[in-house]
Structure 1
Amino acid sequence: MNTRETPGPGPRVTMIDIARHAGVSKSTVSLVLQASPLVKAETREKVVASIEQLGYVYNRGAANLRSARSNIVGMVINDLANPFFAELAVGMEHVFHTAGYIPFIANTTENPKRQAEVLRSMSEHDIAGLIICPARGTKPADIESLAGLSVPIVLAMRRLAGRKFSSVTPDNLRGARRATEHLIALGHKRIAFFGGYSDMIAQNDRCGGFQAALIAAGLPIEPDLIIEGPPNRECGLNAVGRVLDRAEPATAALCFNDVVAFGALSGLERRGLTAGRDFALVGFDDVSEARHTNPPLTTVHVDTAALGERAAHQVLRMIHGDTRPEEFVSDVDLVVRASCGAEGGRRQ
């Protein structure tokens, strides 16, 4: 026999009514209304169904006054034109949606001034927390002012020197080293590095891994084979010409990211060359497009969605009182496809 009862017309529906109808405690209903991650998904769905069936109206404004915090979480992304960051944002959004938070996303297009405007606007709206993929040129002081407002902050993909913020990043150095070692094992001795700038920590790590592999193999580091530039297609396209027009052309390249590698594929095609046959090419990130290029791109696989989810969970943990900083570094794999000239379709 079902002991749950639906209150009839009359007085306003209360949390106690919801608790009785859903067969849970009043505190559980309260946690669901506060979007607490402590509630199991099955229980949350049961409570939400009761809320909808009974027509309960939650006074969000009054709740915000009591908690002094909204249910809006800011996601400040440096380059949404890059499919990697779009995939990262999807992972974040999924977690926030499940937890009952509303993500407010902004694209800074690698512009620190634009980023400062976005962060100032978000802080004025009493957001619950922030995930920031810092724009190039971001200084720790640009973020530290927000820390004084007690807003939980997590940095994604790019760490900053100085103050210790919570962060999620892939193992950039190890991934780049493994990719370069793979090219060396295929017999390449003049290997280039395309993209990124030396004032970017991620570029330092990836180019550092590249150089470490060369040194370990007894190969020279040739400065004119390290081509700096914006991490976009145009950089990769132009870099191909620079390393092929040398007296001793490079025979392979590791790219800062897959987008740079896509540009390099175009640069090779314009010269009538094919990646994997005439020139070995490796990317970094393994965005979904990488497996569909011609030829498919060998790349360092980063579990993008999982990193986004990890960043979101870190923010939620901090919102609920655990403010200890956590620096999470995820493992990476090398996915071997045809663009490097080796047997494709496998991970190392």
Structure 2
Amino acid sequence: MRRGVTLADVAAEAGLSRSTASLVFRNDPVVSAKARRRVLNAAEALGYVYNRNAARLRTSATKTIGILTPGPTNPFFGGFVGALEHSLDGAGYTALLGNTSDSTARETELVRTFMEYRVDGALIVPAAGSPAEFGEVLSKLEIPHVILTRRLAAGSDYYVGSDDILGGRLAAAHLVDHGCRAVAYLGGPLEVFTHVDRSSGARRRLEESGTEFDSAWSGYCETSSAAGFDLARRLLRESPPPDGIICHSDAIALGVMRAFQDAGIAVGSDVRVVGFDDVPDARYWWSSLTTVRVEVDAIARAAVDMLLSLISGEGTGTQPVLVEPELIVRESCGCSIA
């Protein structure tokens, strides 16, 4: 019976040691590009397929990371997951994705599933309404993890996200500079701290300038264009909008602006609108959306760096990381762009 091709055969074909060949298939950065090409070319020539399941039995590391997000309803998370995967791929890790649909029960179930697959760590955007005990669940499971973009009520040293208080201030300051007499903070789920921080940052800046905060138009909704559209239509039946609106997300802003268009309200003059996130399509909307950019690439890099330091045992004493957002000025606030 003809025996299968082994890793030793590949190493011999490449003229390198078996340990070097093993490092290549484990994506270890210590191996030079030239040696990597020799091993991969030898593997292809011999028809060798690396058995990762067998490798996992020989080592404790699986080189997989669980990523937990609320799912695709909010377009922000599509780009964010892509940025996380890019950073993980550069470090030699593969992502295992899970969508909670903002269900706390599914969130706990997926974390346990990650453990069954023996992931080396997890990057977690908590579901809306995640209890303080969720952090304790993670600790008891002894899985290295970093909380992303939505902080937990109990707090966590292992957190990376945008500086949402600053983001709220940036949005409010821009509308104040436009001379808005009243400003609302519209949409988003009440039970996430992202909403709490962004709206509180905005309200503080409005108070400093003596600008009215319009509580009647500061309703809550899920983070989607459909929800923003429905909320704006309902509020329009009850009262006219303020002349400045900060939307919890770009997705919500799109729905809100469509509702205004249908009602004959001019975005950029009758009502000035600012979103949050700077999703790729925001610049192509009519009117193009002024928004607070959440720096997803910087957050992803910082989160992966923090998680890998925890996995290696070097992450003790880690402090939360807040990445500064940036105001991106377009047309929906009334500014003109070249």
Matched, 1:224 2:253: no
- State the one-letter code of the partner of 1:343: S
Checking the alignment, whether the CA contact within 8 Å between 2:5 and 2:47 is kept in structure 1 is no
| Structure 1 pair 135–293 and aligned structure 2 pair: CA distance change class (3 A) | same
CA distance in 2, matches of 1:247, 1:13: 73
| Structure 1 pair 15–172 and aligned structure 2 pair: CA distance change class (3 A) | farther
Deviations 1:140-187 (A, max 9, x none): 322432333332211111111325242221111111101110111111
SS at match of 1:277: coil
Normalised to the residue count of structure 2, the TM-score between the two structures is: 0.87
What is the deviation of 1:124? 1.7
- State the one-letter code of the partner of 1:197: P
Checking the alignment, whether the CA contact within 8 Å between 2:250 and 2:279 is kept in structure 1 is yes
Name the structure 2 match of 1:81.
Answer: 73
**Which among 74, 86, 110 is matched to residue 94 of structure 1?**
86
Name the structure 2 match of 1:240.
Answer: 232
Checking the alignment, whether the CA contact within 8 Å between 1:19 and 1:29 is kept in structure 2 is no
Checking the alignment, whether the CA contact within 8 Å between 1:153 and 1:165 is kept in structure 2 is no
What's the RMSD between the two structures over aligned residues? 2.9
CA distance in 2, matches of 1:216, 1:45: 61
Name the structure 2 match of 1:168.
Answer: 160
Checking the alignment, whether the CA contact within 8 Å between 1:13 and 1:54 is kept in structure 2 is no
Checking the alignment, whether the CA contact within 8 Å between 2:158 and 2:319 is kept in structure 1 is yes
Name the structure 1 match of 2:11.
Answer: 18
Name the structure 2 match of 1:253.
Answer: 245
CA distance in 2, matches of 1:301, 1:167: 19
Q: How does 1:293-332 map to 2 (within 5 A)?
A: 293-324=285-316, 325-332=318-325
| Structure 1 pair 72–263 and aligned structure 2 pair: CA distance change class (3 A) | same
Using the TM superposition, name which of 51-60 and 228-237 deviates more: 51-60
- State the one-letter code of the partner of 1:155: I
- State the one-letter code of the partner of 1:283: G
Q: Percent identity of the aligned residues? A: 31
Name the structure 2 match of 1:5.
Answer: none
SS at match of 1:138: coil
Unaligned 5+ runs, structure 2: none
Deviations 1:227-260 (A, max 9, x none): 2222222442244356656667411100111011
Name the structure 2 match of 1:333.
Answer: 326
**Which among 305, 328, 342 is matched to residue 335 of structure 2?**
342
Unaligned 5+ runs, structure 1: 1-8
- State the one-letter code of the partner of 2:158: S
| Structure 1 pair 314–15 and aligned structure 2 pair: CA distance change class (3 A) | farther
| Structure 1 pair 40–332 and aligned structure 2 pair: CA distance change class (3 A) | farther
- State the one-letter code of the partner of 1:291: R
Normalised to the residue count of structure 1, the TM-score between the two structures is: 0.85
What is the deviation of 1:133? 0.9
Name the structure 2 match of 1:108.
Answer: 100
Using the TM superposition, name which of 48-57 and 174-183 deviates more: 48-57
Length, aligned pairs only: 336
CA distance in 1, matches of 2:267, 2:33: 47
Name the structure 2 match of 1:206.
Answer: 198
SS at match of 2:274: strand
What is the deviation of 1:11? 9.6
SS at match of 1:179: helix
CA distance in 1, matches of 2:5, 2:84: 36
What is the deviation of 1:189? 1.4
| Structure 1 pair 56–241 and aligned structure 2 pair: CA distance change class (3 A) | closer
- State the one-letter code of the partner of 1:152: P
Matched, 1:179 2:171: yes
